[in-house]
Structure 1
Amino acid sequence: MAITTTTIFLNLFLILTTTSAAVRHRHPTTHNYHDALTKSILFFEGQRSGKLPPNQRMNWRKNSGLSDGSNMKVDLVGGYYDAGDNIKFGFPMAFTTTMLSWSVLEFGGMMKSELGNAKTAIRWATDYLLKATKQPDTIYVQVGDANKDHACWERPEDMDTQRTVLKIDKNNPGTDVAAETAAALASASLVFRKSDPIYSKILLRRAIRVFAFADKYRGSYSDGLKNYVCPFYCSYSGFQDELLWGAAWLQKATRSPMYLSYIQSKGQSLGADESDNTFSWDNKHVGARILLSKAFLLQKVQSLHDYKGHADSFICSLVPGAPFSQTQYTPGGLLFKMPDSNLQYVTSTTFLLVTYAKYLTKSHKVVNCGGMIVTPRHLRTIAKKQVDYILGDNPLKMSFMVGYGPRYPQRIHHRGASMPSVSTHPAKIDCGAGFAFMHSETPNPNVLVGAIVGGPDLHDQYTDERSDYSQAEPATYTNAPFVGTLAYFAHSFGQI
């Protein structure tokens, strides 16, 4: 029989589909990613500040911070508490917003019934960020005195510590937090472009104005506000990464040649080709590289060619066994960056892995790590291993997401979760009295469903002690990128 082109393609198709089916059969999922997705979004309701809506599902939480900003005659009610305390830090809140938005932009089509909840989580933040940026050349970047707040252990509903308001302006610049806020507003404008075009335009106009302020008045916000924001959310990496990141999001949101020209002319001076490989609320270089590589790979913006190489370098630093691998893993297989809240780096990295895999697949590209070819499928395999570890495939057989699986942390470092709710204990519990609950060995009375804790140590050990904030404290910026990753896996395994 003559071998025709059709025959060759048919045989190739059969080989590929059979192999794919075999792989799926060998590696069945043991996790309900859809359930984890639902819970990862629900978590944000437990972090809300302000007047809660009638459809609040995390009903052990009540109104709080209703006079925020009043001492400065501004309305700063709303937004999110960053972690287990009662402070509203603008820097990590903006990054949280950007990552929630990016999650929806890449994987929102896979979220189905959860898409509305994800958008609601984003809007709770952007409504606040619009308030914080209402005055030109001024951004309110924090509500609450962290040192005084940390000297107390009290429910947000009972807060009686000073709600100090901090701002940046022309005289006290904060390029890092301003550019991240611009990124948050620009990315969110894309989320709402079709469903709420008027709101989307408001967000984008504000993003443009805020970025111009960030770029014109340069300086790190933690220089002028050091006594208030350090060591909590110091800008350790400088502000160059936020300028590149913010410009990348504005280029994506506006398609204006102005931002593309900005990236082309200033990218290198802003650290586009630095070798750092940690993506977090502080350092955005890697995220910017992945985002800009999309413009080259999928939109054929040739001037951004180098960002494919920069993104590949990051990927090669992660792949175990690759010639340029720099990443440490625990004996149980968890990516390990730092002992304090390590899972924030895991969730941000897994998001970049599945997102870059998506870009590579669509553009029919791979990554070459010194002769070792890394395929999109390989990246997804690495990401899935990290996700599964968080959800319970680890030496402790424990989920690090509260409320998911049969065994999860019971004593997370979180004021509201660790104390009886206002519903069951309406009487105020003051600053000092709350420490009896913090030091208690009993499980938290309120389940902060979906919260991802700081995570285990380098040896896969986790103590589940409320006082150990490095392991036991959740944070919004840990959950935000995980939303997109979970949506991808829930869809891939037909759960959603």
Structure 2
Amino acid sequence: MGILAKLFSLLLLLPVAQGTTSHIIKYWYGGFKAAACAPVTHELNGWTIRMHFDKNVRYVEAWIGKVRKISNREYTISSRSHRNPGDLICFTFLGHNDGKIKPFAKITIDGQGQSRSSGGQKNYGGALAKSILFYDAQRSGRLPSNNPIPWRGDSNVGDCVPGGWHDAGDHLKFGLPLSSAATLLGWSLVQFKDGYEAAGQLDQMYDMMKWVYDYFLRAWKPGQQKLCVQVGDGNADHMFWGRPEDMHMSRPCKFVSEYTPGADIAGGTAAAMAAGSIAYRQKDAAFADRLLEGAKSLYNFAKGHRGVFTGGAPFYGSSGDADEMCEGAMWLYKATGKQSYLIDAKGFVDLGVAWSLGWDDKKLACQGLLYEATEEDQYKRAVEGYFKNWFPGGDVTYTPCGLAWRTKWGANRFTANSAFMALLAAEMGIEPTKYRKWAMEQINYFLGDNNHDGGCFSFEIGYGSKFPRNPHHRAASCPDPPAPCTYDQEKAPGFSPHILQGALVGGPDKDDSYTDERSDYIHNEVALDYNAGFQGALAGIVHLQAVGKMPATNNKCPC
């Protein structure tokens, strides 16, 4: 048995519940060779190992993943490979330093063993990674070589605007929920970039978001003053149950233009692109410039052609465009610093208390952005008024296990968005401990702190050992080709053939009851806007882990 095999055999016997340390194999003047094993306590779809050295190390070489230097004493190694609970990630590496020294490193896997609540340990980083996979599963168009969803292939490549994300369990592309989800996701990347990094998901997040930003750039034609806001016929699409790869129906496009108003979608898309320009500024300045120029011209178009888009009825009808215009103006202000955008936003803002934050109502987001920029009390009071309604004692119903339950149709989506906004408000200095505690307790409910199926049931598919297996999602319900997939699959017995990793289902009823039925689109639908705030909140929680600001929580039905 070689020295490395002997070392790994020894490591298997060591008590390493919270990680382990590296072991020097040999060393010399200017360098050393070491080995380590890190235990896996949760299912991982992609992982990041963090190494904390006791002495300075100039650089590290490893072959198990991508090495990143944080400082002379901290390095990370990341991989997109899968690992199961109970596995050990064992590897060797070379270190280079000055002199002849024997440094050792504490080895941990990000997202494991870092946080406990009343509901026990939650792998927030792992949940974040899975949410990114959900958006990858929603991709339309010709898929890239690094597609991480093996049961998805090229689809709808002949669309008038190819690419983008399918809206939900169907295969339509709707501009209003698409831009709404992209704005919240972009906001999470701007505000909690360190959370994505600590979870080992920063590269995956950039890859995921570029897919939708490229779609927006294709959808907006500034020379023609025309924005594509819908791809596909809603009624025809909903008559089809099958794989998106097998769709051959006509997929008409709908546009807003000088003659067809749609400032709600145009303003929201401008917000998404402007947020993206900030998120990509340091990674890819040229791409950030394209997004910013697109956002500016699209916002100007929307400002000059006010009114809501009505051509998509009965799907995603908007109640107004001022909230999206305010949001677009604020993200352009953040991206450019130009006072004219801030003045515009102050003119668009509604200081009333929002019912919720969602694809049709960006009021709360605009209020929060204005408070962040100005620190004026009127915006702070508006945000506080919202959470007064949402916290216990307000007008939002709470389930017996503590979920803030706004409505039965996709209840989880409104709560997740509110949790994300609570974490953002806390970063703005609004009652940080209280807001963070509430947000984490809501996310804990989603990840298992509930009483469904005996407890420890996750409403995020693929997280933990108990989760929905029959979401209202056509592609996931279809067996592998060449087996046929028809409407028979909607009510077929047994689990869906594919696990739709990371999708947050609509959620329980107000008594915590929930049935995992594929045909139940009220409680078991999945959608772009369902995951957006949820993913943002997860990134915010991993950020709190990274900076040591995790609040104590007290869930009513701990797992």
TM range, smaller chain? 0.7 to 0.9
Q: State how many pairs are aligned.
A: 428
1:254 paired with 2:303, answer no
Determine helix, strand or coil for the equivalent of 1:315.
Answer: helix
Determine helix, strand or coil for the equivalent of 1:252.
Answer: helix
Determine helix, strand or coil for the equivalent of 2:228.
Answer: strand
Find 2:363's aligned residue among 285, 294, 298. Answer: 285
Find 1:154's aligned residue among 219, 242, 253. Answer: 242
Could you say which residue in structure 2 is the equivalent of 1:234? 317
Distance 1:383 1:197 in 2: 34
Determine helix, strand or coil for the equivalent of 1:312.
Answer: helix
Cα shift readout 1:241-287 (whole Å, capped 9, x = no counterpart): 111111111111111011112123x13xx4x2122231001100001
- Cα distance, 1:293 vs structure 2: 1.0
Could you say which residue in structure 1 is the equivalent of 2:170? 85
- Cα distance, 1:49 vs structure 2: 0.3
1:119 paired with 2:206, answer yes
Cα distance, 1:331–1:82 mapped onto 2, change above 3 Å: same
> What does 1:81-480 align with in structure 2 at a 5 Å threshold?
81-112=166-197, 113-136=200-223, 137-222=225-310, 225=311, 229-235=312-318, 237-264=319-346, 266-267=347-348, 270=349, 272-297=350-375, 304-321=376-393, 325-360=394-429, 366=430, 375-396=431-452, 397=455, 398-421=457-480, 425-426=481-482, 429=484, 434-480=486-532
Find 1:42's aligned residue among 113, 118, 133. Answer: 133
Contact 1:188 1:203 in 2 (8 A): yes
Query: Higher strand fraction: Structure 1 or Structure 2?
Result: 2
Distance 1:230 1:29 in 2: 45
Determine helix, strand or coil for the equivalent of 1:249.
Answer: helix
- Cα distance, 1:128 vs structure 2: 0.3
Distance 1:261 1:495 in 2: 35
> Relative CO higher for 1 or 2, CA cutoff 8 Å, sep ≥ 6?
1
Q: Which amino acid aligns with 2:134?
A: F
- Cα distance, 1:47 vs structure 2: 0.3
- Cα distance, 1:315 vs structure 2: 2.0
Q: Which amino acid aligns with 1:38?
A: A
* Structure 1: gaps spanning 5 or more residues: 1-23, 70-75, 298-303, 361-365, 367-374
Find 2:539's aligned residue among 455, 477, 487. Answer: 487
Distance 2:521 2:535 in 1: 23
Could you say which residue in structure 2 is the equivalent of 1:20? none
Could you say which residue in structure 1 is the equivalent of 2:93? none
Cα distance, 1:254–1:333 mapped onto 2, change above 3 Å: same
- Cα distance, 1:26 vs structure 2: 7.2
Contact 2:461 2:504 in 1 (8 A): yes
- Cα distance, 1:27 vs structure 2: 4.3
Q: Which structure has the bigger radius of gyration?
A: 2
Distance 2:326 2:533 in 1: 19
Distance 1:198 1:491 in 2: 28
Q: Which amino acid aligns with 2:404?
A: L
Cα shift readout 1:208-262 (whole Å, capped 9, x = no counterpart): 110111111111102xx0xxx2332111x21111111111111111110111121
Distance 1:156 1:119 in 2: 24
Distance 1:199 1:404 in 2: 34
Could you say which residue in structure 2 is the equivalent of 1:73? none
* Structure 2: gaps spanning 5 or more residues: 1-114, 549-559
Determine helix, strand or coil for the equivalent of 1:208.
Answer: helix
Q: Which amino acid aligns with 1:123?
A: K
Determine helix, strand or coil for the equivalent of 1:460.
Answer: coil
Contact 2:222 2:297 in 1 (8 A): no
Determine helix, strand or coil for the equivalent of 1:474.
Answer: coil
Q: TM-score, normalised by structure 2?
A: 0.74
- Cα distance, 1:319 vs structure 2: 2.0
Percent identical among aligned pairs is 37
Q: Which amino acid aligns with 2:408?
A: P
- Cα distance, 1:134 vs structure 2: 2.3
Determine helix, strand or coil for the equivalent of 1:472.
Answer: coil
Q: Which amino acid aligns with 1:36?
A: A
Kindly report the root-mean-square deviation, in angstroms, between the aligned alpha carbons of the 2 structures.
Answer: 1.7
Cα distance, 1:258–1:491 mapped onto 2, change above 3 Å: closer
Determine helix, strand or coil for the equivalent of 1:48.
Answer: coil
Distance 2:227 2:544 in 1: 41
Distance 1:148 1:478 in 2: 23
- Cα distance, 1:305 vs structure 2: 4.1
